[in-house]
Structure 1
Amino acid sequence: MADTPDARFEALAADILDGLWRRHPDWAGTVGLHEYDAELPDRSAGGLAAEAAWLAGRAEDLADLDPAALSVPNRVDAAILANQLAALRFQIEDLREDEWNPAEANPGVALYTLLARDYAPAAQRLSAFAGRLEQVPSALLDNRSLLAGKPLSRIHVELAIGQFEGTVDLIGAELDAAVAAASEAASKAGSEADSEAVSQARKAIDAVRPDASAALQEHIVWLKERLAAGDAGEEEFRDPRIGAELFTRKLSLSLDAESDAAAILARAEADLDRVSAEIAEAAADYEGVAVPSDEAERSALVRRVLDRLAESAPDNETILEYSRQALLAQFAFVRDHDLVTVYPDPYEVVEMPEVHRGVSVAYCDPPGPMEPAEVQTILAISPTPEGWTQERVDSFFREYNRHMLHNLMVHEAMPGHLLQLQHSRRQQAPTSVRAALWSGSFVEGWAVYAEALMARHGYPGDGDPRAVRMQQLKMQIRMIINTVLDSRIHCHGMTEDEAMALMTGRGYQEDGEAAGKWRRALLSSTQLSTYYVGYKEVSDLVRDLRADHPEWSERQVHDAVLGHGSPPARYLRDLIAA
């Protein structure tokens, strides 16, 4: 290899990424690298300190390179990689979330990913499962040592208890079902070698599962004791709000965007007024009336239309199939209107596993961007949890009515996350940085842009594009309010009553949805801002590309935006030009 600045950077980037995968084997699996599938990350005090030192050294190595000497793709990748190292170091040394959020230590997701996709023979994945399962007791012991004597966040303890209980179910009945299915498949195929491999994996699992199960139960009891001690005033809980200084720094690192926290909040609050006027106009169009001049009357009109739309609702028995049918309609609409290139990659719509519940209603879980096997994207929808009252269930489905579900599936799937990430997997670059290190603001920003795109083209949903437009504008208001909540809760002390009033008032949200969003804002600082910032950046980029290339079709513009992986949007202008 020639000794050029580009060659040196590409070698360094490969070395840094390999170091990340060794330290984060669960993360490696999600991007499609399975060398470390049998390992769990070392999140002990010593492991975190060692990683922080490694991150600092690697950042110095990157800083020694001259960005001006690199090609445009490598210069972008170097900036993304440097930001990622800084963000990980910030998490360990400054935010220190591992020391107050016990949900960080749950091995459930790392275990679940081994069962969720057929990226390798079942016996191989089950053997890796046994390897991770064997490490659960020591990992949880390390976590209790790390958390001992430190004030925990109450809401994060509650989340952890529920998710750890989901992990208990995962390594019980769900694992048994996976082993039985693998054994049956091998038997039907008539392969003695496969049957023997599954049998050996079963024995390995049986050897370590009792200790892992006992360790999980012990850890849940310990967490419940910490929760009870805090409630009794015997120990102190910490505020889940991270404060203005940490929030500002985390937001900058999370977004890798040009705007700062104060500017983002100011723009969001201005946009809230603008989109509130738009939804009033859409409601008046739906009703066939003039837009009222009085603010209270405009709000009442919007709420009246939304309440009428909310009457058309699915339930726990029909939500999955309805979502599947909505997605099929969206595939056809995007193709018919030639909005963006559509790929025939496999996907499935499933009920969200219990281990993932408690934060969001739906998610798109694509195959790893570096996954060599052809495996499906998983679109998970969460029915209402067991134990909810009928009133709360009804509120949920008024919020996620049929029209809203169409908009939600646009966001999560077509032409949102599902399609965008299919494009991202196909990008070619000198390094795998952009493949491995997604920008959450770009990924979410494109999905919100997709909602506006479909509504603008008259996507009919259940038959009336005006109904979809109302729900899309409601979601835009929700997105903007999410950004306001994110900043004002963590930086400005917004109370629950103030947040609920904003969401149920100007946001037209059901009480259950608003309560869940309050909880999510406390659980996930800065994440709620990614949608708004990404949407503004993607929208601005599309506007500029149309102006610069009037000869391009809409599909060409969108393919250009999606053709360079999932980097922060501010880098895309240079990448597209290059």
Structure 2
Amino acid sequence: MQAPGSLQAQGNDAFAAYESHFLEELWKLNPDWATDEGYHKYDSLLVVPDDKSRDNMMNFIKVQKDSLARYEANDLTELNRMDYQLMQNQLEYEAWKISVLKDYQWNPTHYNPFSAFAAILNGHYAPLTKRLRNFYQKMANLPAYYKEAQKQIKNPAPELTALAIEQQNGGVSVIEKDFADSLKKTNIPANEQKLMTDRVKLAAQSVRDYISFLQNIKNDKPHSFRLGKTLYEDKFKYAMQSAYSAQQLFNMATERKKQVHRDMAKLSRQLWPKYFGKKAMPADSLDMIAQVLDTLSAKHTTPAELQSAIEKQLPVLSAFVKSKDLLTLDPGKPLEVRKQPAYFGNAAVASMSSPGPYDKNAKSYYNIISLKGLSPEKAESYLREYNNYTLQILSIHEAIPGHYVQLIYANKAPSLIKALFGSGAMVEGWAVYGEQMMLDNGYDDSPEMKLMWYKWHLRSVCNSILDFNVHANNMTKEDALKFLTHEAFQQQAEAEGKWKRVSVTSVQLDSYYDGYKEIMDLRDAYKAKMGDKYRLKEFNEKFLSYGNAPVKLIRNAMLGAK
């Protein structure tokens, strides 16, 4: 007779083997996702997004739910139990998207394969000739892919249609120009190159036909981009994996905004004489804050020097993290600042593209919006938003010790599941937490920087208020812009960009404040638990060791709760 401990070990070994099988089956159905994560076995495949592919996914969900049910979660190790919960949530979320949300019918951005195509071209995981041949094979299904997209879409949301057109116009260059440029670097025989370039023409034409379809679609009853309260709460539950509901987060963010306004007013009164002398302060505290912020925002870089200004910040941030012993950094993981790829569409000013857990040594890209082609007024508005103070906070958030660092740690996590199915709130929350941690440890302790950080922090707070108000409470564009410019002190260009973002995404904007709040609460609880043994670096590294797992699951693990 075997001892219970050995039975438990067998169960955990079996679960680890099952995880590998689970992922292999998932990647067959989602080759684009696999490519983006650095798993290249199915690079040559492009799944046509038709009823059959959705039926295949629903069948996968049913089979895997049955398989998961064979394991008793409480008999698994703590780390395996986390994976179990993440897999369960992922399956339920995928089923909900297909059977309830059905955004493949009204969201044309659902059809955007360019990230996977670009990853094949830009990667270094295989010889270029092999990657180009995979690219060539993958292109074969593009005409069918876009034909199916046209068949599925009925009365789409106009805001999402506009973004899709922008993305597709950017994506054509990946198929045509980027592929052609790569082809020139190979010695692939001329007759094979001819087959490839002929297929490029067909593939590019299918993209242009889709663009034309979207530009001319008959749209008598356009679908609203707003989810409504019920769908919003559902999506929040799956996407955030939060300790809170969407309504609870909205209520907490509303209270946090009031506190931040009080702290900003205090700092602004302190700075007023330095910048305005004996000029009378406005009676309205928000007006006073706005005037001080506006004066400080005049210190900024130029459109031409935006990228180089960011590049110069990164070694400074690394040196500070090391000097304060906040985290162990890995100097062997390359980071490159680049202009944001066109197929992203300009829905965000900056982002981080990090290598997936299967391709850990690939380059991380810090993507920055290009200000080229903008009117002088709009460019100036952006630069005032990303002034000499906030540009540093942006780089803390996106790079060091924010996303770049956290996602490198995630790739070292003890399981692929935690890296792949993690919580966006944990990822974004860490970046927001990192901003405050840097300032709390003395990074530019001037009142000017503190005030600007509060303004930046208001973004996270107001993101949650805005997203909930727009999607669940039908907030108008006019009210949203007034809220962002007056109560969050954002420049007009930033506010309009945020309106665009809230009209083409949902719930994602909640992740910043949700994750930050949960991490700060966890740190306080962990500090109390550890007493004299508490060390910030130890907390940070232990927290990051759980990959991208939701904060509520990490909390249970770090505090020893069930």
Do they superpose with TM above 0.5?
yes
Change (3 A) 1:293 1:44: farther
Change (3 A) 1:128 1:282: farther
| Equivalent position of 2:262 in the other structure | 277
In 2, are the aligned partners of 1:21 and 1:27 still within 8 Å (CA)? yes
| Equivalent position of 2:40 in the other structure | 34
Q: How does 1:175-574 map to 2 (within 5 A)?
A: 175-180=179-184, 182-183=185-186, 195-196=187-188, 202-226=193-217, 229-230=218-219, 235-287=220-272, 296-344=283-331, 345-371=333-359, 374-384=361-371, 386=373, 388-429=374-415, 432-460=416-444, 465-549=446-530, 550-574=532-556
* Matched positions, count: 549
How far apart, in 2, do the equivalents of 1:503 and 1:332 lie?
Answer: 34
In 2, are the aligned partners of 1:126 and 1:201 still within 8 Å (CA)? no
| Equivalent position of 1:59 in the other structure | 65
How far apart, in 2, do the equivalents of 1:538 and 1:303 lie?
Answer: 30
Q: How does 1:29-178 map to 2 (within 5 A)?
A: 29-147=35-153, 150-178=154-182
How far apart, in 1, do the equivalents of 2:375 and 2:155 lie?
Answer: 32
**Cα deviations by residue, 1:289-342 (Å, 9 ceiling, x for unpaired):** 89x999953222211221122112223311111111111211111111111111
Partner amino acid, structure 1, of 2:244: S
> Per-residue deviation at 1:457?
2.1
| Equivalent position of 1:190 in the other structure | none
- Once structures 1 and 2 are overlaid, which stretch shifts more, 23-32 or 171-180? 171-180
**Cα deviations by residue, 1:405-449 (Å, 9 ceiling, x for unpaired):** 1110100000000111111112224xx211222211100000000
How far apart, in 1, do the equivalents of 2:39 and 2:250 lie?
Answer: 38
How far apart, in 1, do the equivalents of 2:46 and 2:98 lie?
Answer: 17
In 2, are the aligned partners of 1:134 and 1:209 still within 8 Å (CA)? no
**Cα deviations by residue, 1:17-51 (Å, 9 ceiling, x for unpaired):** 21211111111112221101111233112211321
In 2, are the aligned partners of 1:370 and 1:436 still within 8 Å (CA)? no
How far apart, in 1, do the equivalents of 2:209 and 2:524 lie?
Answer: 55
- Once structures 1 and 2 are overlaid, which stretch shifts more, 292-301 or 412-421? 292-301
In 1, are the aligned partners of 2:11 and 2:76 still within 8 Å (CA)? yes
Partner amino acid, structure 2, of 1:66: E
| Equivalent position of 2:3 in the other structure | none
How far apart, in 2, do the equivalents of 1:103 and 1:341 lie?
Answer: 38
- Once structures 1 and 2 are overlaid, which stretch shifts more, 20-29 or 544-553? 544-553
Partner amino acid, structure 2, of 1:168: V
How far apart, in 1, do the equivalents of 2:304 and 2:183 lie?
Answer: 27
Identity of aligned residues (%): 27
> Per-residue deviation at 1:468?
2.8
How far apart, in 2, do the equivalents of 1:458 and 1:95 lie?
Answer: 46
In 2, are the aligned partners of 1:133 and 1:205 still within 8 Å (CA)? no
Partner amino acid, structure 2, of 1:329: V
Partner amino acid, structure 2, of 1:353: P
**Cα deviations by residue, 1:240-265 (Å, 9 ceiling, x for unpaired):** 10111110000000111121121111
**Secondary structure, aligned partner of 2:348:** coil
**Cα deviations by residue, 1:131-159 (Å, 9 ceiling, x for unpaired):** 22222111001111111xx2210011100
**Cα deviations by residue, 1:48-96 (Å, 9 ceiling, x for unpaired):** 1321232133223223422111111111110011001111111111111
> Per-residue deviation at 1:371?
1.5
How far apart, in 2, do the equivalents of 1:142 and 1:80 lie?
Answer: 31
How far apart, in 2, do the equivalents of 1:105 and 1:64 lie?
Answer: 35
In 2, are the aligned partners of 1:45 and 1:146 still within 8 Å (CA)? no
Gaps of 5+ in 2: 1-5
Partner amino acid, structure 2, of 1:338: D
How far apart, in 1, do the equivalents of 2:426 and 2:364 lie?
Answer: 19
Partner amino acid, structure 2, of 1:524: T
**Secondary structure, aligned partner of 1:450:** helix
In 2, are the aligned partners of 1:108 and 1:166 still within 8 Å (CA)? no
How far apart, in 1, do the equivalents of 2:86 and 2:375 lie?
Answer: 46
How far apart, in 1, do the equivalents of 2:166 and 2:469 lie?
Answer: 27
**Cα deviations by residue, 1:484-513 (Å, 9 ceiling, x for unpaired):** 111111111111111111101111011111
Could you list the runs of 4 or more consecutive aligned residues of structure 1 that deviate by over 6 angstroms after TM superposition? 292-295
Partner amino acid, structure 1, of 2:36: T
In 1, are the aligned partners of 2:303 and 2:372 still within 8 Å (CA)? no
**Secondary structure, aligned partner of 1:396:** helix
Gaps of 5+ in 1: 184-194
Provide the TM-score with structure 1 as the length reference: 0.90
Partner amino acid, structure 2, of 1:458: G
How far apart, in 2, do the equivalents of 1:20 and 1:200 lie?
Answer: 36
**Cα deviations by residue, 1:171-217 (Å, 9 ceiling, x for unpaired):** 2223222333x33xxxxxxxxxxx348x7874553131010011111
Partner amino acid, structure 2, of 1:453: M
In 1, are the aligned partners of 2:36 and 2:115 still within 8 Å (CA)? no
Partner amino acid, structure 1, of 2:265: A
